[in-house]
Structure 1
Amino acid sequence: MPRTGYVYVPSPSRENLAVGLRHNLWGWRSSALDRAGARDAVGQLAEGDFLVLGHRGPNSRVKPGGWSDATLKRVIVAEVTAPLFTASEQVWLDDVYPERLGISVVSEEAEIPGKDLGAEAMECLRLSANKQGAAVLVSGVGGVATMAARLPEEGEGVADGVVEHTGEMNTFAKVLVRREQQKLRRKKFGSQPTELTCAFCERVLPPRMVRAAHIKRRSVANREEQLNLSNITAACLIGCDELFEHGYIFVNDGGFIEAGSQADVTEDLKQAATNVAGRAVKDYNDASAPFFAWHREHIAH
């Protein structure tokens, strides 16, 4: 059964939170995990489990259940990408925080009332606040599931081309990613476009046939990169999205499409890649170039 760790991040740790999200990491001082089995709890979190970070809540010195109706200024849901490990490289400015988890943010919401996380999750965050930010562990994904069920959709509908490849991501995580993708899609393409142009083949298509795709994969991007509109491009569902996703086509450092060597697997696949090769990519500019370079180096090889 998957597990969820809940960590409270107080107001003075706002910059540390930003740094952690920038590096896809969360860390603790060893002294914080030396108490009452805290290290054992964090050590049980495995790849694919959830870490929920609650930021800026009320006074935690209240009776059990006292946070059930509270509101958190920020709630960040992340998946664990690397189980507990130690490192001495200084990432945060004020301390090393050597005991760390690798994380990838799934969702970030503001002004979340307790009912949108559920009583158990809010109590775990209250307990974490009283334990110097040590993780409080529960079996299952109750708080994440509650958020996924309660938060409203942000987009047009299921078949609007918004959801990018999410691999083996938990079902509830996919719901939360979808909500965020809907927000980014609206910022990138407008709220109600009547048609969209694929950045690769330049076909003009109904919006539901064009995906708002991350150039550098969302799963490995840090939080700033996930939300950067220059890391999002329009990729049609007729073929360009899959060709680009799997590295059958890539964008060179001049902004032109090339067919990847991986496309040589079959003649038909090679032809599909060749059909768009040589075109200038609509979204290529100084801001998007580093993301296309990442794709070229890590996906297309």
Structure 2
Amino acid sequence: MPPPHEILVQSEAGALPEHFYVYVAKDSRRNLEIGRSRGVWGWRSEALDRRNTLDHGTGRDVARSMSIGDYFLLVSGGPGGPRKPEAEFVTTPLDELVICRVTRPLYYSTRQVWPDDVYPERIGLDVIDTVGPVQPARLGVSTMRNLHRSGNNRGIPVTGDDVRPQS
């Protein structure tokens, strides 16, 4: 039987779950560990208000479209990160992929979770698996482009394709 993150599961409404991605910068690795252990991810409000031309709206529009049961993937690493040109980034292996399911849609809280900031715009998560390193072909060019956009826009959420099984 394939690992849980490679099985497509239908939501209660019968629709296939969506896939959302966030590129986590190297200096935010501590926040990634805290979020993973506490089952929560968050953004600064002004980050979600940034325009996300790939998804034709703002980061907030993308975050609001997340539903319970959707996949939420936190991606980190890769030499040079998203600051390198897109054509290079889409062919660069990534260090880690944290595969989660959304357990609570976007909500607002000022309760301190992370040591460096509040990140009040949040979603609840259930971590399914962590894999790495991840070859870009496993995510696809479209998703890699969106991750490039996320990484260059304060980690705004972006849509993406499903994760392809490891070959």
TM-score range, shorter chain: 0.7 to 0.9
Give 1:196-275 correspondences, 5 Å limit.
Answer: none
- In 2, the alpha carbon distance for the partners of 1:17 and 1:52 equals 11
Q: Return the offset for 1:62.
A: 4.0
1:12 equivalent in alignment to 2:27: yes
1:34 equivalent in alignment to 2:35: no
What's the counterpart of residue 143 of structure 1? Answer: 162
CA contact (8 A) 2:143 2:159 kept: no
1:117 equivalent in alignment to 2:144: no
- Structure with higher Rg: it is 1
CA contact (8 A) 1:7 1:129 kept: yes
What's the counterpart of residue 52 of structure 1? Answer: 73
The one-letter code matched in structure 2 to 1:55 is: S
What's the counterpart of residue 128 of structure 2? Answer: 106
Q: Secondary structure at the match of 2:162?
A: helix
Q: Secondary structure at the match of 2:83?
A: coil
What's the counterpart of residue 94 of structure 1? Answer: 116
1:76 equivalent in alignment to 2:92: no
The answer to which structure, 1 or 2, has the higher relative contact order (CA under 8 A, 6+ apart) is 2
**Structure 1 residues 123, 143: CA separation in 2 closer, same or farther (over 3 Å shift)?**
farther
Instruction: Tell me the C-alpha RMSD between the 2 structures.
Output: 1.5
Q: Secondary structure at the match of 2:134?
A: strand
The one-letter code matched in structure 1 to 2:108 is: T
The C-alpha deviation readout for 1:26-49, integer Å capped at 9, x for no partner, is 000111111111101110000011
- In 1, the alpha carbon distance for the partners of 2:159 and 2:106 equals 14
Aligned identity (percent) is 36
Q: Which runs of 5 or more structure 2 residues have no equivalent in the other structure?
A: 1-14, 52-57
The one-letter code matched in structure 2 to 1:66 is: E
- In 1, the alpha carbon distance for the partners of 2:47 and 2:93 equals 25
Give 1:110-189 correspondences, 5 Å limit.
Answer: 110-138=132-160, 142-144=161-163, 146=164, 149-150=165-166
- In 2, the alpha carbon distance for the partners of 1:82 and 1:124 equals 23
Q: Return the offset for 1:56.
A: 1.5
| Greater than 6 Å deviation, 4+ residue runs | none
Q: Secondary structure at the match of 1:150?
A: coil
Q: Return the offset for 1:63.
A: 4.0
Flag the structure with higher helix content. Answer: 1
TM-score, normalised relative to structure 2:
0.81
- In 1, the alpha carbon distance for the partners of 2:162 and 2:138 equals 8
Q: Which runs of 5 or more structure 1 residues have no equivalent in the other structure?
A: 152-301
**Structure 1 residues 134, 62: CA separation in 2 closer, same or farther (over 3 Å shift)?**
same
- In 2, the alpha carbon distance for the partners of 1:115 and 1:8 equals 17
The one-letter code matched in structure 1 to 2:110 is: S
Q: Secondary structure at the match of 1:84?
A: strand
CA contact (8 A) 1:50 1:78 kept: yes
Q: Return the offset for 1:59.
A: 3.5
The one-letter code matched in structure 2 to 1:115 is: A
What's the counterpart of residue 200 of structure 1? Answer: none
CA contact (8 A) 2:25 2:81 kept: no
